[in-house]
Structure 1
Amino acid sequence: MTASDQRNIVIIGGGIIGCTTAYYLSRHPKYSTENTSITVLEASSIAGGASGKAGGLVAKWAYPKELVKVTFAEHERLAAEHNGAERWGWRYTGCGQWEGRGEELEGGSKKMDPDRSLQKKEGLIDGDSEAPLSGSTKGLPRDLDWVKSNLTDSYAPMARHGETAQVHPYLFTTSMIELAQEKGVKVVYGKATSIGYSSDGAVESVTYIQDSESHTISATDVIVSAGPWTSTVLPQVPISGTRAHSITIRPSRPVSAYALFTEIQLPDSAQAVTPEIYARPNNEVYACSPGDGKPMPESTKLVEVDEKVCEALFAQVASISDELRKGEVTVKQACYLPNVNSGPQGHPIIGSVRGSKGLVIAAGHTCWGICNAPGTAKAVSELVMDGKITCGKLDKLAPHNFF
């Protein structure tokens, strides 16, 4: 083997997309440690952003449809192959839209500043044959045992059985990188500052800062998957971030597996609040608020958590459930979700950058990054190793459609 045969693949970003891409590259038939090196370059910590703090919903009714058709089956395959139920909390879950009234609670404001919808339900408007069920009922499903029925105005299922599932995002992301490392993938901690190119426009290096010192690593292929921070490496990419808060609660008893999109009318407010609530295995419930306009910091380590927002979020979800009201808040956190500011609405950017040989972007997955990571990673691994994507028709997601 000559030096020209050696491939040095550098993945910028150790979130769900970067770690899952490393896993798929390390499982590709053409991958060999003898002729290919794979390095994940992470500025802060693996799964330090939304990849460790998101809800972890996986849905056939997510968007974009072209990607979801690949990714849901891949989630099922990964869970079966690597014991995902035990390793990262994979399971199918009920899912519905709940509307009703919240009870008044003593202490703690339930109000928040004006917020931004995370638009997670936008996939429901697509007329796919696998679209969720329509219609609503007065009563709750028989097995939804942790929301007060007397406070319920309506409940509408959002999907059929087997069309919605969940993972614990931190456990899933860290499992992907651990499995990749078993196949020789390296993780380097440092903040990428620039990509170097040869005279003919091909990528040849990545420069990064580690412990205040500049380092350069050679590269034949560079995959930029830095989520909302992607534009700090590639300023031409139209991606920004929206901050969202979340909490985890240990309920007073184990609760049934449901993901709820709520609309709660509170006694002290004219406007309903809309937290999302996901019951997880191991007696944990995750709840998140809509986003806000707080500017993004330089790294995930510098993300600020507003205690008042977390307190209000707990009060909101506790107002409809005794199990949550009597439970213990175990985590208060915030993260930034990546938004693509041009091109097809709600679509991530996945593909090769024209005019820059060896440069691939996989970023901008909005609120569906955990869900769409395996499909993205499968597509990128094919693109890098085979020269084209064959797992799905993802032309609409190519970078030239966005910038």
Structure 2
Amino acid sequence: MKSDEHAKGPSLSCSSIRTSTFSSTLMSASTHAARHIIIVGGGIIGCTTAYYLTRHPCFHNSTITLLEASHHGAAQGASGKAGGLVARWAYPKEIVDVSFEEHVKLAKEHGGQDRWGWRFVDVGSWEGRGEVLEQEEDPGNLARKKSLEKTRGLTVDSGTRTQKGLPDDLIWVKEHLTESYSPMARSGATAQVHPYLFTTSMLELAKEKGLQVKIGCAATKLVYSSTNQITSVEYKDSTGSGSITATDVIICAGAWSPNLIPGLPIEGTRAHSVVIRTPPTKPIAPYVLFTEITCIGQGVNTPEIYARPDGTVYACGPGDESPLPDNVDDVVVDSTACQVLLRNVSSISDQLRDGEVEKRQACFLPVSSVGGGPIIGQRSPGLYIATGHTCWGISNAPGTAKAISELVLDGKIRCANLKSLQPSKFF
């Protein structure tokens, strides 16, 4: 018998009876019935889910409302402050195989190259020494460093590493400081987007199809019926408190998701990043570098560096265990953390050292406290979860969104087998 969360073959027609994984407690209902869907969270998972729901053939006669707690709009957290890496070698593979192809399709359909900076890039491991100007002061290293595990999905064959220098077009890192460089994925397996532009584009495209958005609106409570069916969402905004009736609620609030679902094993890891605008006379070839830099401060520093097509370079450092604030608007940026990061990346590149720092920022990545993840699926009648994507939220957003849209409107996930990611596996 096929799983209720995964089936192959022809899709259900919109006139067929929708069956849930919780058929013993859920009412069977025609997909023609009016559905009132609430998405909690205006990050990349929430906005992309809204897009896929509005494109689903069974979406007609439904309404979707997205609640975003930030007063500044969508993508104010990790979705707007990430590097934007999209990779076939990411994890978990169950969702990666769907998500990468969806990224390619979205870019073709909506002009992603111009709209959100979509392009294929090379990715490599760089090891070497850093140089520091004599007048610079050492700000020290961050305490309690936490690996973001970005390279977890990669397997680097040490036998293929070259000790003879860099690729011909990778001229924005200093060759004389390089000890080794090796490609980390085959050509065509790595791409990038500008995460803020991608997220807000998904939101605008969903709004064109009827999505309603409430900005500065924080969901405070989920309300259930006596049969544990979701019935409404309570919220607070600048005008006070309110409630919205719902047949389906999708929790995409990242590290803040446990505020609505007690026991959800998600915690936040704070990560800092900077954006540097490089001199226009010094072009930056399209590379993503995972670095190991010695001779700067104590130990080995491992910033990630992402060249972008708009002439900027994004760099991020390790995570830390700073407490999660009540609202994404209250995330505190540690100036020392950003200074350490800037010093590290500038120590191997004149282009980065000579560039103008446009942003110093921080965000919280949602991480499963019990390991694994992300958590994708149905928790109870009408309640769905899509969070815990760690550093791979940008890459895995389209696959997650497609799966959730199928689960809500078809009653089954058809694009992939996500049994290992369903909520019951985590709590």
Q: Secondary structure of the equivalent of 1:5?
A: coil
Which one of the candidate residues 57, 61, 76 is aligned to 1:48? Answer: 76
Q: Is the CA contact (8 Å cut-off) linking 1:133 and 1:160 kept in structure 2? A: no
Q: Distance in 1 between matches of 2:275 and 2:327?
A: 23
1:23 has 2:51 as partner: yes
SS of aligned partner of 1:216: strand
- Quote the RMSD (CA, aligned, Å): 1.7
Residue matched to 2:111: 83
CA contact (8 A) 2:123 2:190 kept: yes
Percent identity for Structure 1 against Structure 2 = 57
* Distance in structure 2 (CA, Å) of the matches to 1:150 and 1:235: 53
* Displacement after TM superposition at 1:109 (Å): 2.5
- How far apart in 1 are the matches of 2:338 and 2:137? 10
Structure 1 segment 61-80 matched on structure 2, within 5 A: 61-80=89-108
Q: Is this contact kept in 2: 1:108–1:312, CA < 8 A? A: no
Greater mean deviation of Cα atoms: 103-112 or 48-57: 103-112
Counterpart selection for 1:219 from 246, 250, 264: 246
Q: 1:181-220, aligned counterparts within 5 Å? A: 181-189=207-215, 190-211=217-238, 213-220=240-247
Q: What is the letter of the counterpart of residue 279 of structure 1?
A: A
The 5 Å alignment of 1:241-390 reads 241-252=268-279, 253-267=282-296, 269-342=297-370, 345-353=371-379, 356-390=380-414
Work out the CA distance in 2 between the residues paired with 1:278 and 1:104. Answer: 21
Provide Cα deviations, 1:116-154, integer angstroms capped at 9, x if missing partner. Answer: 1101111115xxxxx889631121111111000100000
1:47-101 Cα deviation digits (max 9, x unpaired):
0100000000000110001110000000000000000000000000010110000
Rounded Cα–Cα distance in structure 2 between residues aligned with 1:289 and 1:227? 20
Q: Give, as a single letter, the amino acid of the residue that structure 1 aligns with 2:227.
A: D
| TM value normalised by structure 2 | 0.89
> Could you tell me which of 174, 189, 194 is aligned with 2:200?
174
State the 1:212 CA deviation. Answer: 5.6
Q: 1:177-235 CA distances to partner (integer Å, 9 max, x unpaired)?
A: 00000000010121111111111111010000011611000000000000000001112
Is the 8 Å Cα contact of residues 154 and 185 (structure 2) preserved in structure 1? no
1: CA distance, partners of 2:322 / 2:335: 14
Return the alpha-carbon distance in structure 1 between the equivalents of residues 191 and 46 of structure 2: 22
- Equivalenced residues, count: 391
Q: Which residue number in structure 1 is paired with residue 38 of structure 2?
A: 10
Asked if the contact 1:346/1:366 (under 8 Å) is kept, the reply is no
Q: Deviations over 1:322-372 (max 9, x none)?
A: 111111111110000000011xx342000001xx21100000000000000
Candidates 175, 179, 183, aligned match of 1:153 = 179
In 2, Cα distance between equivalents of 1:79 and 1:312: 35
Aligned counterpart, 2:167:
141
**Structure 1 residue 110, shift from structure 2 partner:** 5.1
Q: Work out the CA distance in 2 between the residues paired with 1:132 and 1:183.
A: 47
Aligned equivalent of 2:150: 120
Q: Is the 8 A contact 1:63 1:347 kept in 2?
A: no
1:40 partner letter: L
Give, in angstroms, the shift of residue 312 of structure 1.
1.3
8 Å contact kept, 2:79–2:196: yes
CA contact (8 A) 1:133 1:159 kept: no
Q: Distance in 2 between matches of 1:21 and 1:317?
A: 35
- The answer to whether the 8 Å contact 2:123/2:183 transfers is yes
Residues 60 and 68 in structure 1, CA contact (< 8 A), matched pair in contact too: yes
Q: What's the CA shift string for 1:357-392, capped at 9, x where partnerless?
A: 110000000000000000000000000010000101
Residue identity matched to 1:168: H
Distance 1:132 1:177, change over 3 A: farther
Aligned equivalent of 2:136, options 88, 93, 107: 107
Asked if the contact 1:110/1:311 (under 8 Å) is kept, the reply is: yes
Relative to the length of structure 1, the TM-score reads 0.94
Q: Is contact 2:286-2:308 (8 Å) kept?
A: yes
Q: Which amino acid aligns with 1:374?
A: P
- For structure 1, which runs of at least 5 residues remain unmatched after alignment? 126-130
Structure 1, residues 261-294: CA drift from partner, whole Å, max 9, x if none? 0000025x34010000000011000000100111
- 1-side partners of 2:82 and 2:138: how far apart? 24
Contact 2:141-2:298 within 8 A present in 1 as well: no
Q: Distance in 2 between matches of 1:400 and 1:108?
A: 51
SS in 2 for 1:391: coil
**Aligned-residue offset at 1:254:** 2.4
